[in-house]
Amino acid sequence: MNAMEQKRKIVPPVYLLGALLMMMVMNQWAPLGQYVAAPFHYGGIILASIGVVMAAISAGAFKKADTGVVPFEEATVLVTGGFYRFTRNPMYLGMAMFLAGVSVLIGTTGTLLPIPFFIAVIHLNFILGEESFLEDAFGEEYLGYKKKVRRWL
């Protein structure tokens, strides 16, 4: 583990909460117009729920495999089943889906703005480093998996 990875004290759910807070601020102070009206905004509950379920099941797969869930913890097993068959990052994708669902539920355009920033922060601060970490830990097995399964969708 390099010094940059050791210094990471803020885990992805903290960034998720920060993005959620920013969405609330944007809705209050800069809603920028309604993009989803009632009753269609309730579809956001479905999208947010799918995101939570995806993230929870994916974290559970790590626990079941008895490998680290927290970014850059020691990886003892390469998890490739479940949602990991379709995306290399279902926990992060689930978090992004949760934010998108909340945005649809609220329905104002301003709530969309924090989502790409959340994705960029996760990508730059976690995904790129985790990919390197997994390549070192699992070598050809991870490289083969990486060729078959996309990073996000």
Is the pTM higher than 0.75? The answer reads yes
**C-alpha dist (Å) from residue 3 to 12, 33, 99, 123:** 18, 44, 31, 18
- Predicted confidence (pLDDT) at residue 18 exceeds the cutoff of 70: yes
- Predicted confidence (pLDDT) at residue 127 exceeds the cutoff of 60: yes
**C-alpha dist (Å) from residue 118 to 11, 99, 115, 122:** 12, 9, 5, 6
pLDDT of residue 73: 86
pLDDT of residue 28: 97
Point out which residues pair with 108 in neighbouring strands: 34
- Predicted confidence (pLDDT) at residue 4 exceeds the cutoff of 60: no
pLDDT of residue 8: 60
pLDDT of residue 72: 86
- Tens of pLDDT, residues 138-152: 999 999 999 999 999
- Predicted confidence (pLDDT) at residue 6 exceeds the cutoff of 80: no
- Predicted confidence (pLDDT) at residue 87 exceeds the cutoff of 80: yes
User: What is the pLDDT of the chain when averaged over all its residues?
Assistant: 94
